[in-house]
Amino acid sequence: MKHTIEMMISEQEINKTLDQLAERINAHYADSERLLMVGLLKGSVVFMADLCRRIKGHVEIDFMAVSSYGNSTTSSRDVKVLKDVQSDISGRDVLIVEDLIDSGNTLNKVREMLLLREPKSLALCTLLDKPERREVDVHVDFIGITIPDEFIVGYGIDYAEQYRNLPYIAKVVPLD
């Protein structure tokens, strides 16, 4: 698709959002002994790198890769684990770190999977939320910025694997 991109959320605004998110997360986990932040590959990588450097105390990071695909028989979506976390999460405070929540399918399935392993607590954090696109209800504890239903890229988020390296978030505008 021929397209161009337009800056939508600047580096400065992203930094401010991360400062605010980190303040809330630090307050929430002030008594936690070993927080484990779990990022979902690949989109969360840039956000995770910037967010974890703002979190105080004992923090560990880990990653999971999942792919979601349609299930024709139930018209729902299934999530397949491509790479699991390396850490044993049982009894741990776990914070899932996502770049974007769209339908909610990815986070919902990952949440269900990780809950079976009996963490001490499990919370969700996303930089961006697109509530208009939600298909499944999922409670998100920490939301950075709520955005309208736009096609966005940058700061970890891709369009056909491109643009993850943009330091800001941009809108994709189709050209004819």
Residue 92 CA to residue 117 CA, distance in Å, equals 10
Selected range binding ligand PRP among 8-16, 26-34, 82-90, 104-112, rule: CB under 6 A: 104-112
104 counts as binding ligand PRP under rule CB under 6 A: yes
102 counts as binding Mg ion under rule CB under 5 A: no
126 counts as binding ligand PRP under rule CB under 6 A: no
Catalytic residue among 50, 62, 102, 158: 102
When binding is defined by CB under 6 A, the residue of 11, 34, 55, 103 that contacts ligand PRP is 103
> Quick one: tokens of 70?
């349609």
Nearest by Cα to 124 from 39, 9, 52, 45: 39
| Residue 137 bears catalytic tag | no
> Residue 3: beta bridge partners?
174
150 counts as binding Mg ion under rule CB under 5 A: no
Residue 79 CA to residue 82 CA, distance in Å, equals 9
When binding is defined by CB under 6 A, the residue of 9, 17, 52, 99 that contacts ligand PRP is 99
What is the smallest separation between the CB atom of 92 and Mg ion, expressed in angstroms?
A: 27
DSSP letter, residue 17: H
Decide: 70 and 80 in contact? Cβ < 8 Å: no
When binding is defined by CB under 6 A, the residue of 8, 37, 95, 100 that contacts ligand PRP is 100
